[in-house]
Amino acid sequence: GFAKAQTEVMLYYDESNIYMGIICHDTLPGKRPVESLRRDFSFGRNDNFIAFIDTYNDRTNGFAFGISAAGAQWEGMQANGGFVSLDWDCKWRSAVTNHPDYWIAEFSIPFRSIRYRGEDMSWGINFSRMDLKSNEKSSWAPVPRQFQSADLAYTGTLVWDHPLPKSGVRFSVIPYLSGKALQDNQAGESVRFKGGAGLDAKIILSTSLNLDITINPDYSQVEVDRQQTNLDRFELFFPEKRQFFLENSDLFANLGSENIRPFFSR
| CB 129, CB 143: distance < 8 Å | no
Give the list of residues 6+ apart from residue 226 with CB closer than 8 angstroms, or none.
Answer: none
Task: Please tell me the distance from the alpha carbon of residue 248 to that of residue 202, in angstroms, as a whole number.
Answer: 13
pLDDT on residue 207 = 63
pLDDT string in tens for the chain (266-residue length): 789 999 999 999 999 999 999 999 999 999 999 988 988 898 889 999 999 999 999 999 999 999 999 999 999 989 888 888 887 888 899 999 999 999 999 999 999 888 888 788 999 999 999 999 999 999 999 999 899 999 999 999 999 998 888 765 677 787 888 888 888 888 878 888 888 888 888 787 766 677 888 888 776 666 667 777 888 887 777 777 776 677 666 666 655 556 666 667 66
Of the candidates 140, 165, 150, the one whose C-alpha atom is nearest the C-alpha of residue 54 is 150
Which of 100-114 are b and which e, b meaning 16 or more Cβ less than 10 Å from the residue's Cβ? Answer: eeebebebebebbeb
Burial 146-172 (b: 16+ CB within 10 A, else e): eebbbbbebbeebeeeeebeebeeeee
Query: Where are the CATH 2.60.40.1190 domain residues in the chain?
Result: 7-159
Domain 7-159, CATH class in plain words: mainly beta
**Of 80, 94, 78, 89, whose CA–CA distance to 113 is shortest?**
89
Sequence-separated (6 or more) residues with CB below 8 Å from residue 198: 175, 176, 214, 215, 216, 217, 218
Phi, psi (degrees; rounded to nearest 5) at 245: -90, -10
Helical H segments across the chain, by residue range = 243-246
Residues 152 and 128: beta-carbon distance below 8 Å: no
